[in-house]
Amino acid sequence: MNKDLNKLTESAVLVALAVVIELISKMIPILQMPYGGSASLAMFPLFMLSYRHGLKWGLISGLVFGIVNFFIDGYAFFWGSFIFDYTLAFAAIGLSGLFSKKALDLSLSAVLLGMLVGSFARFVIHTLSGILFFAEYAGDQNVIIYSITYNGGYMLASLVLCMIFGVLTYKRLLLKDLV
């Protein structure tokens, strides 16, 4: 099969898998935050995609997932939320592609560090969105502290889930063609 077609097909499958995982997580109320965001394994397929195909492909795939997730979730009140909480935040997961070469050499530390970097970048963008666009939800609390704690809870849970799943599966997922 043509290498580019294989990469495109694999990416479509992994982005679709991330969408399905996100949809399933939305059916579990305990994983949901009241104003958006959820603890989910949805980032995991995007991490694997970024390791398998690199930074550029990871950023683009995260962006595509974010746009699809917006149409499914639709929890943006205005352009700022759409740009920060959907496009930029999910594209940032692709930063894990910075660790692609070492991850493909089956370096567990590179896999975990990539997850940490991609998740942290997403967390920072969601936190900035909270500070810039959702300050009214903070009430009397400092908006920076509110945004950090609000976004930190579900992002940390998502990161831990992805890291656990990554430790258990990365060798099998990074060694083989997925499609």
Tens digit of pLDDT for each residue in 80-127? Answer: 888 999 999 999 999 999 999 999 999 999 999 999 999 999 999 999
Report helix, strand and coil shares of the chain as percent, to nearest 5: 80, 0, 15
Domain ranges of the chain: 3-175
**To the nearest whole number, what is the mean pLDDT of the chain?**
91
Tens digit of pLDDT for each residue in 138-171? Answer: 889 999 999 999 999 999 999 999 999 999 998 8
Find the Cα–Cα–Cα–Cα dihedral 80, 23, 31, 139, rounded to 10°: 20
Contact indicator for 66, 118 with CB cutoff of 8 Å: no
Q: How confident is the model at residue 19 (pLDDT cuts 50, 70, 90)?
A: very high
How many other CB atoms sit within 10 Å of the CB of residue 35? 11
At 136 the pLDDT is 84
Its CATH class, for the domain covering 3-175, is mainly alpha
